[in-house]
Each structure stands twice: as C-alpha cells, then as structure tokens.
Amino acid sequence: MITKEMIIGQVLREYPQTAEVFLALGMHCLGCPSATMESVEGAAITHGKDPDQLVNELNRIAAQ
C-alpha cells in the first residue's frame, strides 16, 4: 500500500506501473535526485494536486 510519506523512488521500485501517474502529474524526471528524496505528499503539493487524491490514484494503479 502506498502512503503519502513514501519516497517517490520507493514507490517506483515497488510499483513501477505508477510511473504513468507521476508522468501525467508533470513529473518527467523520475530518475532525478528529487525522486529519491521527495515524498509522495511533497510531490503532490509541489504540483498542485491533493495528496490524498494522488495516493488514491497511485494505489488504484498499483493494484492492477
């Protein structure tokens, strides 16, 4: 299960299919240093998206 506190890099390692969600959000540098340090919540806020909504979307894709 993906949480707001998880680091983006961790999410991508465990659930690679979630990359499409991050890309749709405008995060095109999934391999850059910020992906290894930024939380899902931080990314959501940076990109103007509700963190809970992003987590729900990531978990939906991860479950497929």
Give the single-character DSSP code of 39: B
* Rama region for 26: left / alpha / beta (φ>0; ψ in -120 to 50; rest): left
What are the residue ranges spanned by the domains of the chain?
A: 8-62
- Residue 26 confidence (pLDDT): 84
Predicted confidence at residue 61, as pLDDT, reads: 97
Q: What integer pLDDT is reported at residue 54 of this predicted model?
A: 96
CB of 43 closer than 8 Å to CB of 22: yes
Phi, psi at residue 39, to the nearest 5°? Answer: -80, 165
Output the tens digit of pLDDT for each of the chain's 64 residues: 999 999 999 999 999 999 999 998 888 777 777 778 899 999 899 889 999 999 999 999 999 9
The predicted structure's pLDDT at residue 42: 92
The Cα 41–Cα 37 span in angstroms is 12
